[in-house]
């Protein structure tokens, strides 16, 4: 199946709701940035949109609405989130584009848009101002707290969520006032809602936050994680943190990169292992039903890499990680599209959605127990776009068996 969208960037968030309710992917279309032979090409703002897709039937995604909402592809694929009750979506606008004489330049933005998913059609109902360049976002399982990392501010904004009202409760500094930029780029909240991990990309560290209601505290404890930690997720049992160590300022470079493993059961938590996964890990998703995670590698594919670079490849890679207690290992991989960044599991763990930027499509992988070969029973959701991000919400569900991504998506049906 193939559903056509109409913009130049893709961002998505995945949330769970009761069977009678919709389950959504939120797709942010950034029209301000493109690439040509590895170089950015900027356009003035005004054309960005957000597309809301109903995935209640995981194999037949359905567009619900397209909304004019400014957003950004710059940063890790973690700048959207949906509340666990599937009533609100939060979309961060990380970067704006302004005139600089005869040229254009990127400048930090400071806005988070609140979308009411229960309205018909869904609509933007509020705008919240955060710190500079809101990039990473996470919502706790209770659905009453969101954390937003401000990449150009060395801070984390704490958002209180009450019904359809979202307000800034506090801003937490995660570095001294006179410190250089540590590029706090991504955040993940533990399932019990009591702690969070923050990726400090420019410092090669992850910070630990304590959470008590809407009181969020940084006590100065950081963990060295690896080179350029760009994304962070926490396993569904809350025992391990996984950090995508990108290695090369957000782009592939032909070198091997790692996923760092943080043991959250230790006091204090600390990194205990690093898993070699490949070149350019950026997107990451953790299974809501078991011990699997997927690290999505850009792998030198797509327009952000020069055409003649020695590490240019014709596909990205989804690397399958399996945890056994506190041991994490890479157990397989599959080729996907090009410059793939966005990835999320469906709430029941049956499907894995991957955004293939170069092919301008969203595809799903079928997650089937104890099967590692391509079955050819997936679907493609294609769009004329180049860049994508995706984020999984904190809401989990229960399943009787772990799900293993196993099959590539094929087949297509035009919707537009």
Element spanning 329, H or E: strand 327-335
Residue 367: the pLDDT is 67
Residue 22: the pLDDT is 75
Q: Give the other-Cβ count within 10 Å of 216's Cβ.
A: 21
The DSSP call for residue 85 is T
Phi, psi of 15 (to 5 degrees): -135, 160
Residue 25: the pLDDT is 84
Segment 27-51 mean pLDDT = 89
- pLDDT at position 377 over 80: no
Grade residue 272 by pLDDT with cuts at 50, 70 and 90.
Answer: very high
Grade residue 395 by pLDDT with cuts at 50, 70 and 90.
Answer: very low
* Percent over 70 (pLDDT), the chain: 83
Measured at the CA of 213, the angle between CA 212 and CA 214, to 5 degrees, comes to 105
**47: CB partners within 8 A, 6+ apart:** 7, 31, 32
Grade residue 344 by pLDDT with cuts at 50, 70 and 90.
Answer: confident
Which domains, and CATH codes, for the chain?
A: 9-407 (2.130.10.10)
Task: Count Cα neighbours of 208 within 13 Å in the Cβ-side half-sphere.
Answer: 21
Residue 21: the pLDDT is 62
pTM of the predicted structure, to 2 decimals: 0.86
90 vs 78: CA distance, rounded Å: 11
Give pLDDT tens digits for 95-112.
999 999 999 999 999 999
Instruction: Extract the tokens encoding 25.
Output: 């992917």
Task: Count Cα neighbours of 313 within 13 Å in the Cβ-side half-sphere.
Answer: 23
Grade residue 282 by pLDDT with cuts at 50, 70 and 90.
Answer: very high
């Amino acid at each position: 199946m193939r559903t056509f969208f109409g913009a130049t960037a893709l961002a998505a968030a995945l949330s769970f709701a009761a069977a009678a309710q919709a389950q959504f992917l939120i797709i942010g279309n950034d029209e301000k940035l493109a690439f040509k032979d590895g170089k950015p090409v900027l356009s003035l703002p005004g054309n960005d949109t957000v597309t809301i897709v109903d995935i209640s039937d995981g194999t037949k995604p359905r567009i619900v609405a397209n909304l004019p909402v400014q957003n950004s592809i710059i940063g890790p694929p973690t700048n959207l989130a949906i509340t666990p009750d599937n009533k609100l979506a939060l979309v961060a606008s990380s970067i704006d584009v302004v005139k600089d004489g005869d040229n254009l330049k990127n400048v930090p933005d400071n806005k988070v848009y609140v979308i009411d998913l229960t309205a018909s059609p869904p609509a933007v109902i509020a705008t919240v101002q955060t710190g500079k360049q809101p990039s990473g976002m996470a919502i706790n399982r209770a659905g009453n707290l969101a954390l937003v990392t401000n990449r150009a501010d060395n801070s984390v904004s704490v958002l209180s969520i009450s019904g359809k009202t979202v307000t800034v409760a506090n801003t937490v500094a995660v570095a001294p006032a006179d410190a250089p930029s540590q590029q706090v780029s991504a955040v993940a909240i533990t399932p019990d809602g009591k702690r969070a991990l923050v990726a400090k990309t420019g410092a090669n560290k992850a910070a630990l936050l304590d959470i008590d209601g809407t009181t969020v505290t940084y006590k100065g404890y950081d963990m060295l994680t690896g080179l350029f930690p760009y994304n962070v997720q926490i396993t569904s049992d809350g025992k391990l943190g996984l950090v995508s160590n990108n290695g090369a300022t957000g782009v592939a470079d032909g070198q091997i990169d790692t996923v760092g493993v943080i043991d959250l059961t230790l006091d204090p938590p600390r990194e205990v292992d690093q898993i070699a996964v490949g070149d350019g890990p950026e997107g990451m998703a953790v299974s809501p039903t078991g011990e699997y995670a997927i690290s999505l590698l850009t792998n030198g594919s797509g327009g952000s890499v020069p055409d003649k670079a020695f590490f240019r490849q014709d596909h990205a890679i989804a690397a399958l990680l399996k945890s056994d207690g506190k041991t994490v290992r890479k157990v397989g991989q599959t080729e996907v599209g090009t410059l793939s960044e966005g990835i999320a599991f469906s709430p029941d763990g049956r499907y894995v959605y991957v955004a293939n930027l170069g092919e301008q499509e969203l595809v799903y992988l079928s997650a089937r127990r104890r099967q590692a070969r391509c079955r050819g029973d997936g679907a493609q959701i294609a769009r004329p776009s180049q860049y994508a991000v995706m984020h999984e919400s904190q809401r989990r569900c229960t399943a009787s068996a772990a799900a293993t991504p196993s099959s590539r998506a094929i087949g297509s049906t035009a919707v537009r």
